[in-house]
Amino acid sequence: MPINFDFAYDLRGGNNVPISKDFPIADSQTLVVGDAVVLSAGKVAKASGTFGRAFGVMAEAITTGAAAGGPLARVYVSQPGQVWRATATAAATSHVLAGRTYDLNSSQLVDVADTTGGCIQIVELGATTTAIYVVFTAHELA
């Protein structure tokens, strides 16, 4: 299974791996390494649909129960300038540096058909037309 989001490089130079920290996880979550996440009521939750502000990308997997009480798990904190490898729902050739931002679908693919309310900008293509490099344009901790 490919990783949904994987750090590629930093536009500011240095190419340092993003800082990772332990944060409380929301109840009823199944998160895998590479999942994009948001903050929900002060806890980390899986991003989907309207993805308006990135908190980060999961650095470890965790599954929480209905009343988990916020166990901690490691998250790569998203910051401006970080570029991440991702996968698009369809060919992204016409979407590179298109001046639009995109959302995620429920499988955490970048939905190139959804340009309403998202925070993902496509900056370049990878080895295929659906393998893309993206930046998050809005961050919870920026």
User: Confidence class of residue 1 from pLDDT cuts 50, 70 and 90?
Assistant: low
Model confidence at 19, pLDDT cuts 50, 70, 90, reads very high
Rounded CA separation 115/124 (Å): 17
CA atoms of 112 and 118, how far apart (whole Å): 10
Domain annotation for the chain: domains and CATH numbers? 16-77 (2.40.300.10), 82-136 (no CATH)
pLDDT (0 to 100) of residue 31: 97
- Rg over alpha carbons for the chain, rounded to the nearest Å, is 14
Query: Do the strands 6-10 and 131-136 form a parallel or antiparallel pair, or are they unpaired?
Result: unpaired
Residue type, 114: D
Q: Could you read off the pLDDT of 71-105 as tens digits, one per residue?
A: 999 999 999 999 999 999 999 999 999 999 999 99
Query: How far separated are the first and last CA of the chain, in Å rounded?
Result: 30
